[in-house]
């Protein structure tokens, strides 16, 4: 298997190291910035037609690109032009699978209900609009394609939730009731490795852990584990903020495909940190 990982960030770089350690894989990463410690890391920018090169005879391509808080023009340049450039350059390669990492943020549910891969989507934000456009472009390409919609990623060196739970600031009531969907970095990478190998995959999979949890429940568990080291927060106060995207994301389709989590819930994942 000759694998190119396009966008070697937090998950992509870990995935590359895991695949490279297994027999039968030759792995390259494409990054905008050089990585001298990795001899198979290539530097390039897919938003420019001539801004990147690919190894010959690729069999699998995993697209892990993303933006956060960028202008709409940047989203368009990456998710429309950049992915279009990449798909065009794959012509002639013996592609067995293209895998794109999207986000569970595309779902319309905002009242805490369950969503599956067949639930309605709502491209109300700039980011979700372009993630959905990229999904459509990839699934309609000439190549066998799969979309992995990832929930919030945490893990080593990414402990924002722990830091937030340690704050002494008062919570908002709506934040206490808000559902958190998460996936440990190891399981995110493991799911991607799994999805490039399974036969006859579904077009879309939710990649998240098995137990969505409210922020209030997560905070109570965290304090129980940490005892006096956890900050005592003030009583939650009302909020008039309109919050979108409150949902419980099901990963049943991923489980049915044979995937097993290393960290099935927040308990195992945060305990490891």
**Per-residue pLDDT tens for 43-66?**
999 999 999 999 999 999 999 998
pLDDT for 140 beyond 60: yes
H/E run at residue 72: helix 72-76
| In a domain? residue 173 | no
pLDDT in tens, 167-219: 655 555 457 889 999 999 999 999 999 999 999 999 999 999 999 999 889 98
> Is 8 within the bounds of a domain?
yes
Q: What percent of the chain has a predicted confidence (pLDDT) above 90?
A: 73
Instruction: Give residue 241's pLDDT band: very low, low, confident or very high (50, 70, 90).
Output: very low
Neighbour-count burial of 135, counting CB atoms closer than 10 A to its CB (0-12 exposed, 13-18 middle, 19+ buried): buried
Q: How many domains does the chain have?
A: 1
Backbone dihedral angles phi then psi of residue 105, each to the nearest 5 degrees: -65, -5
Task: Select from 79, 83, 84 the least CA-distant residue to 126.
Answer: 79
Domain annotation covers residue 161: no
CATH code at 6?
3.40.50.720
Task: List, for residues 27-46, the tens digit of each pLDDT value.
Answer: 999 998 877 777 789 999 99
Question: How far from the centroid of its chain's Cα atoms is residue 259's Cα?
Answer: 16
| Residue 137 is assigned to a structural domain of this protein | yes
* Residue numbers of the domain that contains 72: 2-155+183-210+250-263
CB contact at 8 A, 64 and 101: yes
Residue 12 in domain: yes
Asked whether residue 115 is domain-assigned, the answer is: yes
Nearby residues of 263 by Cβ (< 8 Å), 6 or more positions away: 184, 186, 187, 209, 269, 272
**Are 207 and 251 within 8 A, CB to CB?**
yes
């Amino acid at each position: 298997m000759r694998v190119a990982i396009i966008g070697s960030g937090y998950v992509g770089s870990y995935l590359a190291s895991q695949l490279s350690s297994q027999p039968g894989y030759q792995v390259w990463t494409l990054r905008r910035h050089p990585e001298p410690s990795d001899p198979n890391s290539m530097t390039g920018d897919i938003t420019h037609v001539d801004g990147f090169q690919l190894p010959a005879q690729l069999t699998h391509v995993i697209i892990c690109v993303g933006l956060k808080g960028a202008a709409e023009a940047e989203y368009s340049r990456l998710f429309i032009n950049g992915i279009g450039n990449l798909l065009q350059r794959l012509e002639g390669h013996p592609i067995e699978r293209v895998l794109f990492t999207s986000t569970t943020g595309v779902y319309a549910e905002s009242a805490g209900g369950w969503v599956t891969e067949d639930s309605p989507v709502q491209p109300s934000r700039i980011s979700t609009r372009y993630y959905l456009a990229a999904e459509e472009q990839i699934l309609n390409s000439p190549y066998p394609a799969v979309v992995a919609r990832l929930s919030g990623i945490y893990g080593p060196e990414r402990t924002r939730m722990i830091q937030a739970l340690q704050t002494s600031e008062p919570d908002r009531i709506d934040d206490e009731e808000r559902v958190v969907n998460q996936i440990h970095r190891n399981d995110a990478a493991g799911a991607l490795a799994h999805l490039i190998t399974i036969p006859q995959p579904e077009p879309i999979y939710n990649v998240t852990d098995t137990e969505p949890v409210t922020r209030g429940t997560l905070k109570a568990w965290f304090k129980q584990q940490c005892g006096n080291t956890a900050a005592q927060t003030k009583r939650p106060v009302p909020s008039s903020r309109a919050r979108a995207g409150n949902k419980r994301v099901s990963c049943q389709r991923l489980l049915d495909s044979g995937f097993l989590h290393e960290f099935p819930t927040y308990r195992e994942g945060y305990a490891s940190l």
